[in-house]
């Protein structure tokens, strides 16, 4: 794992900090299906045990035919299903989920929609050129706006909070790297008026409450209960006629002889359909071997922390965060729309240990979301209470935080940092929207509707998405080649 050397050159884009190096890559090996049993319960899944959607099935028997089969009930699959129905209410749409409803990355993440509206500029422009870099960042702002509008207009009960998120830089090198990114972004015509920059360390410390902060960049973001948001979307789709079937893993998608239809084979029977949408994210390679290497499953942890009294009630944190150290980043969601417990994700320094553990048995462990309380990561999260952090564990200041529980989830890491959206090459009628890295909440609300525009016959321009998101054989091969090269040079 290449935990980014923040500050030495450029900061990586928000949500793509997880860069797996050859030793820890599952590479071109067979990536797995979701665990059939033994998955742990995230905080979100713990909170909805009585919700009927958890094990919902629209009918006792699985239908044998459909106009469209969507595989995966995370944010992507559920939104795709809704958009398919909204754009054509006569469609018979079936949404299949291997396990409980929304129990993949969406039901396990850190609950942050943190659009990258400036930080990733340099890295993206190096990889995809200036125009695409600007489009990627603009897309994140648009996604945030759409997610917010959906929640507000539909009065979605998902404990949403909209406010100021802070990138907290903790060394002068990181401050310099951030300035370089911001300058390049502005030079390219980027509008930075939505980003509030504080370069005075004293002020940065005061505003962020992070001891040792050297600078702070703040902009708009959201935190929410992702499962509840997706459940709302699913209910809307069910009202439009969606058929949802949980606990129905798909084992293969095979062509029907002498027909352009596909047979979707599941544990409960076969569905024949002209249209299949792969919304399986980290698990995409299991059903689509052509995505192997281009999309890789990578486990991550989310830690739940009870803040001490000095950070509770009227003294609770007022922002969300990414606290950037030279050896890793912590994202902090203080659940201001909910119970005020902190959810810590990102790439904390000791994430390396998790990836070392996965590398010992990559095929099995890369999809193992049964892991809880992985101690090296928890130890690293405890650093947030230290002298270069919120400082609450120092000399009894504000009493102690309680490091409660942590759960795992599987990120769908794409080889080029971008999601794969569009028609699966050489498989007419099959579509994909996957590879959202640690950043789906700032992508999916535009990517999923964009995919449905393509399905409905629109051209790429109609999606409004950056061109570099489009899946192509070349892009899949490049991802594969990149991984192969990394593997080769590692040994
Ligand atoms: C610990 C952690 C923290 C994160 N924190 C954040 C964050 O704060 N902000 C952010 O933006 N992003 C975050 N992410 C990333 C984010 O959660 C994902 O990018 C996003 O949820 C992807 O959504 P999805 O619907 O594409 O995939 P998923 O939610 O993973 O959904 C895919 C679904 O497909 C199902 N499936 C797979 N294969 C099959 C099959 N063969 N048959 C039937 N069903 C199948 C799976 O069971 C799963 O439910 C985090 C991820 C993790 C793991």
- What contacts 129, CB < 8 A, 6 or more positions away? none
- Residue 163: CB atoms within 10 Å: 14
Task: Give the count of beta carbons closer than 10 Å to the beta carbon of residue 61.
Answer: 9
Atom 15 of ligand 1, nearest CA residue = 438
Indicate the DSSP class of residue 465.
S
CATH class of domain segment(s) 22-490 = alpha beta
Q: Can you tell me the distance from the alpha carbon of 171 to that of 30, in angstroms, rounded to the nearest whole number?
A: 41
Report the separation in Å between the CA atom of 392 and the middle of ligand 1, taken as the mean of its atom positions.
Answer: 33
Give the DSSP letter of residue 102: T
pLDDT in tens, the chain (491 residues): 344 445 445 677 887 765 555 455 555 556 689 999 999 999 999 999 999 999 999 999 999 999 999 999 999 999 999 999 999 999 999 999 999 999 999 999 999 999 999 999 999 999 999 999 999 999 999 999 999 999 999 999 999 999 999 999 999 999 999 999 999 999 999 999 999 999 999 999 999 999 999 999 999 999 999 999 999 999 999 999 999 999 999 999 999 999 999 999 999 999 999 999 999 999 999 999 999 999 999 999 999 999 999 999 999 999 999 999 999 999 999 999 999 999 999 998 888 899 999 989 988 999 999 999 999 999 999 999 988 899 988 877 667 899 989 999 999 999 999 999 999 999 999 999 999 999 999 999 999 999 999 999 999 999 999 999 999 999 999 988 777 665 555 44
State the pLDDT at residue 31: 62
Whether the Cβ atoms of residue 27 and residue 487 lie closer than 8 Å to each other: yes
CA nearest ligand 1 atom 37, residue: 280
In what helix (H) or strand (E) does residue 75 lie, and over which residues does it extend? Answer: helix 75-87
CA–centroid distance, 65 to ligand 1, in Å, is 27
282 CA to centre of ligand 1 in angstroms: 7
3-state SS class at 161: strand
pTM for the full predicted model: 0.95
Among 61, 148, 110, CA closest to 344: 110
Q: How far is the CA of 443 from the centre of ligand 1 (A)?
A: 12
Give the count of beta carbons closer than 10 Å to the beta carbon of residue 485: 11
The residue among 286, 403, 355, 409 whose CA lies nearest residue 39 is: 409
- The residue whose CA has the least distance to atom 33 of ligand 1 is 72
Could you tell me the CA-to-CA distances from 223 to 301, 310, 340, 452 in Å, in that order? Answer: 17, 22, 11, 26
Distance 218 CA to ligand 1 centre (A): 27
Interacting residues of 258 by C-beta distance below 8 A, sequence separation 6+: none
Q: Which atom of ligand 1 is nearest to 230's Cα?
A: 25
Distance 244 CA to ligand 1 centre (A): 18
Distance 458 CA to ligand 1 centre (A): 26
Take atom 48 of ligand 1 and give the residue whose Cα is closest: 104
- Tell which atom from ligand 1 comes closest to the C-alpha of 331: 8
Ligand 1 centroid–CA 233 distance in Å is 16
| Residue nearest ligand 1's atom 4 by CA | 109
Q: Can you give the pLDDT at residue 393?
A: 82
Residue with CA at minimum distance from ligand 1 atom 32: 280
Q: Residue whose CA is closest, atom 14 of ligand 1?
A: 438
Ligand 1 interacting residues, C-beta cut-off 6 A: 15, 33-34, 71-77, 96-99, 103-106, 108-113, 249-250, 279-283, 286-287, 300, 302, 331, 345, 409-411, 434, 436, 438-442, 444
Q: How far is the CA of 250 from the centre of ligand 1 (A)?
A: 16
Q: Which residue's CA lies nearest to atom 13 of ligand 1?
A: 438
Distance 398 CA to ligand 1 centre (A): 36
Task: Tell which one of 38, 55, 280, 369 to mutate to probe ligand 1, the residue whose CB is within 8 A of the most ligand atoms.
Answer: 280
CA–centroid distance, 74 to ligand 1, in Å, is 6
The 10 Å Cβ neighbour count of residue 490 is: 12
State the Cα angle at 449 between 143 and 419, rounded to 5°.
65
By alpha-carbon position, which residue is closest to atom 50 of ligand 1?
Answer: 109
Distance 411 CA to ligand 1 centre (A): 6
CA 103/CA 41 separation, integer angstroms: 9
Distance CA 350, CA 352 (A): 5
**Cβ-contact 478, 418 below 8 angstroms:** no
Mutation choice for ligand 1 from 335, 372, 438, 471, CB with most ligand atoms inside 8 A? 438
Which pLDDT belongs to residue 482? 76
Task: Give the per-residue pLDDT at 1.
Answer: 39
């Amino acid at each position: 794992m290449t935990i980014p050397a923040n500050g030495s050159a450029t900061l990586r884009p928000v949500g793509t900090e997880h860069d797996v190096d050859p030793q820890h890559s599952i590479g071109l090996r067979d990536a797995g299906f979701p665990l059939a049993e033994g998955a742990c319960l995230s905080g979100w899944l713990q909170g909805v045990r009585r919700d009927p959607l958890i094990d919902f099935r629209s009918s006792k028997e699985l239908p044998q035919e459909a106009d469209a089969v969507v595989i995966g009930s995370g944010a992507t699959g559920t939104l795709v299903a809704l958009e398919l129905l909204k754009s054509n209410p006569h469609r018979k749409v079936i949404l299949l989920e291997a396990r409980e409803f929304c129990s993949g990355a969406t039901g396990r993440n850190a609950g942050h929609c943190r659009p990258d509206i400036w930080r990733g500029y340099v890295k993206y422009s190096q990889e995809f050129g200036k125009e695409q870099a600007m489009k990627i960042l603009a897309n994140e702002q648009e996604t945030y706006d759409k997610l917010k509008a959906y929640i507000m207009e539909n009065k979605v009960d998902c404990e949403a909070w909209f406010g100021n998120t802070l990138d907290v830089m903790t060394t002068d090198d990181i401050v310099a790297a951030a300035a370089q990114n911001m300058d390049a972004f502005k030079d390219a015509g980027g509008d930075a008026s939505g980003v509030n920059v504080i370069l005075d360390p004293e002020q940065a410390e005061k505003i962020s409450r992070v001891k040792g902060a050297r600078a702070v960049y703040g902009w708009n973001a959201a935190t929410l209960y992702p499962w509840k948001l997706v459940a709302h979307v699913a209910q809307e789709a069910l009202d439009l006629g969606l058929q949802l079937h949980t606990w129905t893993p798909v084992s293969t998608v095979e062509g029907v002889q002498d027909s352009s239809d596909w047979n979707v084979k599941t544990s409960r029977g076969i569905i024949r359909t002209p249209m299949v949408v792969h919304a399986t994210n980290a698990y995409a390679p299991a059903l689509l071997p052509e995505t192997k290497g281009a999309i890789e499953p990578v486990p991550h942890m989310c830690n739940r922390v009870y803040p001490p009294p000095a950070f509770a009630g009227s003294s609770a944190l007022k922002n969300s965060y990414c606290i950037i150290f030279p050896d890793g980043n912590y994202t902090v969601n203080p659940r201001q729309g909910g119970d005020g417990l902190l959810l810590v994700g990102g790439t904390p320094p000791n994430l390396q240990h998790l990836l070392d553990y996965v590398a010992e048995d990559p095929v099995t462990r890369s999809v193992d979301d049964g892991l809880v309380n992985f101690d090296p990561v928890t130890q690293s999260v405890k650093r947030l209470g230290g002298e270069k952090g919120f400082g609450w564990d120092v000399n009894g200041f504000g009493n102690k935080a309680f490091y409660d529980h942590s759960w795992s989830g599987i990120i769908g890491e794409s080889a080029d940092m971008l999601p794969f959206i569009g028609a699966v090459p050489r498989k007419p009628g099959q579509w994909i929207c996957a590879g959202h890295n640690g950043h789906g909440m700032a992508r999916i609300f535009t990517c999923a509707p964009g995919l449905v525009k393509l399905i409905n016959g629109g051209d790429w321009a109609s999606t409004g998405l950056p061109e570099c998101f489009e899946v192509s054989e070349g892009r899949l091969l490049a991802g594969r080649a990149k991984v192969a090269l990394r593997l080769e040079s590692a040994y």
